[in-house]
């Protein structure tokens, strides 16, 4: 471990506070979950309880290399966020801007083929089966009216 402490580190294009434990600091990178972060640290040989500000440059480079190519380091494929891609048919793991772009492309593709999910996305409705009677109202929302107010409005 290095004795030099850094308050802010740049890991995979994301600023990370040096006070965080390494396992939680890696979750600040978009596309890296807690389980994936702990698997990455185990492959890199880094203690997950050490504060990220105390890591050396070689340890950070090793972590970044594993995040970029997790298949090369034989991480389990069920940890990846893009399994069996429609274009390539292979498992991959995307991070930061690539993940955002891929998600946007997937939604646009669903809209173009007019699937039910695409229809719900296109009209701004709930997509994953949530109730819509009382929640998710946008624009002119319907409220609860008292009977007296209803009677006054009728007359």
Interval 96-127: pLDDT, tens: 999 999 999 999 999 999 999 999 999 988 99
CA distance 11 to 29: 8
Q: 28 with 67, same domain?
A: yes
Percent of the chain whose predicted confidence (pLDDT) is above 70: 90
Q: Residue 111 belongs to what domain range?
A: 95-128
pLDDT at 144: 63
Q: 72 with 15, same domain?
A: yes
Q: Judge whether 86 lies within some domain.
A: no
* CA distances in angstroms from 55 to 19, 23, 66, 68, listed in the order given: 11, 12, 16, 19
Higher-confidence residue: 60 or 1? 60
Q: What pLDDT band is residue 153 in, cutting at 50, 70 and 90?
A: confident
Q: 70 with 99, same domain?
A: no
CA distance 105 to 87: 12
Residue 11: strand pairing partners: 14
For the chain, the domain total comes to 2
Q: Of the candidates 65, 103, 63, which has an alpha carbon nearest to the alpha carbon of residue 81?
A: 103
Q: What pLDDT band is residue 132 in, cutting at 50, 70 and 90?
A: confident
Residue 2 has pLDDT above 50, yes or no: no
pLDDT at 1: 45
Q: Judge whether 1 lies within some domain.
A: no
pLDDT mean across residues, the chain: 88
Cβ neighbors of 16 (< 8 A, separation 6 or more) are: 8, 9, 10, 25, 26, 28, 29, 52
Name the CA radius of gyration of the chain, rounded: 23
Higher-confidence residue: 145 or 41? 41
């Amino acid at each position: 471990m290095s004795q030099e402490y850094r308050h802010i580190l740049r890991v995979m294009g994301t600023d990370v506070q040096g006070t965080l434990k390494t396992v939680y600091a890696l979750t600040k990178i978009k596309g890296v979950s807690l389980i994936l972060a702990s698997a990455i640290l185990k492959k890199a040989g880094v203690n997950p309880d050490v504060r990220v500000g105390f890591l050396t440059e070689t340890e950070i480079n090793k972590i970044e290399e594993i995040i970029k190519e997790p298949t090369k380091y034989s991480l389990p494929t069920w940890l990846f966020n893009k399994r069996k891609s429609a274009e390539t048919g292979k498992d991959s793991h995307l991070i930061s801007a690539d993940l955002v772009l891929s998600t946007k492309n997937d939604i646009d593709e669903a809209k173009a083929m007019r699937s039910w999910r695409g229809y719900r996305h296109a009209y701004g409705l709930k997509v994953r089966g949530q109730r819509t009677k009382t929640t998710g109202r946008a624009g002119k929302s319907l409220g609860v009216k008292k009977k007296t107010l209803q009677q006054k409005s009728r007359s």
